[in-house]
Structure 1
Amino acid sequence: MMSANFHFHQLQPDLLLDALESYQIRLESGLMALNSYENRVYQFKADDMQRYVVKFYRPERWTAEQIGEEHQFCRDLQQAELDIIAPLQFDGQSLLQYQHYYFAVFPSKGGRPFSAEQDEHWEQLGTLLGQLHQVGAATTFQHRPILQVHTEIQQAIPLLLQCPLLPAALRPQYQRVLEQLLHTIQQLPAVKWRSRRIHGDCHAGNILTDQQLFLLDFDDCLQGPAVQDFWMLLSGDEMEQRIQLEILTEQYQNFTDFNQSELALIEPLRCRRMVLYMVWLAKRWADPAFPLHFPWFAHEDYWQQQLQQLQQQNLRLQQPTLRLYPYDI
């Protein structure tokens, strides 16, 4: 196993080619790096003249069992005829290994971005997520994480406060606002949600359309509430978000129920994402790709802006919950 400070230095072109050729995958074109920081992802054309994508998983992030569950979830969805991109199998195996690296090969499929302005896209998304969560509820992950907002933020706070890039003068303010956020979330009424296998990172960048919408990248799949796969796609003011949700859930509920009380989780989930994103950058800073692509993380202006956003988020946590039908009691 590689050390915790590993950052893909050894993943050079010769090793990439050797890894693919070890599974009789021979390239017709060169490897083109795609936009991915957590893993290393490349597109290529094989000697069968088809285009593929290979993803090399960051060592020590997921275990083989956890990646295996990701792949099995994709196969379950594909068998249910959902529009998702699942890894290919070689001699019955989709999780491939070469030296210290786990990797997987996917068919390459292009498309246009998801558009929040098109009702048709929301209808298709409601159908797709309804089917996905119906399949996701059929069994449970045994090795993947369970989404736990309060616990995850609580564990993230000391990691963030210890980040050497956090200006010392701002550390007391960060500690105060993070503890306030945690306290506010803890005081919110409990929401009972049905745990199911979900995509986990369902945002516009992971959705493309080619006549029909299809989902990419199940790298963050986990056990969680349905609304985790909804809220990052919502945009605009409250009325616009309500319309988007109404279109989505109308189609969604043709396949599985949506518990509207989960809407109260949106702001806590947003808080979780804000905090975990900063911790993710701090953990990965030793990887040369991160200072190169996220240079603003080392600037005091960024930390000042994030402090203000966290303070605003604390206020949002205390506002009334987004509701599909505001006139219902």
Structure 2
Amino acid sequence: MLDEATRGLPPADRRSAFTNAPMGIALTTPAGVLVDANPALCRMLSMTAEVLHGQSVLDLVHPAGRAGASQAHATLLADHSQPMRHETRLVHADGEIAVQVTASWVDGTSAGEPPHLVMIVEDITDRKALEARLLHRSLHDPLTGLPNRLLFHDRLQHALERGSREHTPTSVLIIDLDDFKTINDTLGHPTGDLVLVAFAERLQTVLRASDTAARLGGDEFGVVCEHTDRAHAELLVGRLRDALQDPLVIEETTICLTMSIGIGLAEGGADPAHAHPQVVREADAAMYATKRLQR
């Protein structure tokens, strides 16, 4: 930490290191009251050192993060031997920033310097935004923007766990577009991609806020319907078929799209570990049965 890195330097050099450091640095009392802030931290927070002086660091933390920051602070006070590292968000006049705070305890000196904390504050807003984009990309289909198969199964697991606790049914729809290969073969894959995007948009217009639609791969889609019995799942199927009554118009080409849909049902209170694969298999089998009847 700063005190360790500058130990043995003359006071003027230590002050220069504090002032010119590229990262934010705060000196606080053991209770977390700001005693001094370097220019980098002032710029980060859009506040002067005079305004920051005397404020509690916790007052700068976003309300949603104060409990976690308070716990991290308590951990440091309980064990002075280990630096504390904690990610949180700080608020300022222009909004908020994501930061990583690394804090260490500094004992008082024989010269009369009281015990205090040194906090290194790093702005990680860009890094967290990149992480969020990468996470979104890993869980969503890049073409339609819908959740992908991985997120579909995660949402299904959560729905089944809730249904087990609250004894409510969960329905799954598996949807396959009919003769999609013909669209790709006759109109080309770029047009086929636009059809998938247009269908995803139609699908989302009929869903409730609690439903999760996903692209499972190719022209196969799935929907997780929480707190939904078979009768209500069939109503959703009816709304989706109504939504496809109007042909799609893709680059001046009119396409009449049909689909095969299967419904799977997990009764309320079912064991999620057993119900998860079973409800998907049931919906998948029902979808293929429907497709065979339509041939």
Q: TM-score when scaled to structure 1?
A: 0.25
Q: Choose 1 or 2 for highest CA Rg.
A: 2
Which protein has the bigger strand share? 2
Q: TM-score when scaled to structure 2?
A: 0.27
Q: Which has the higher contact order (CA 8 A, sep 6+)?
A: 1
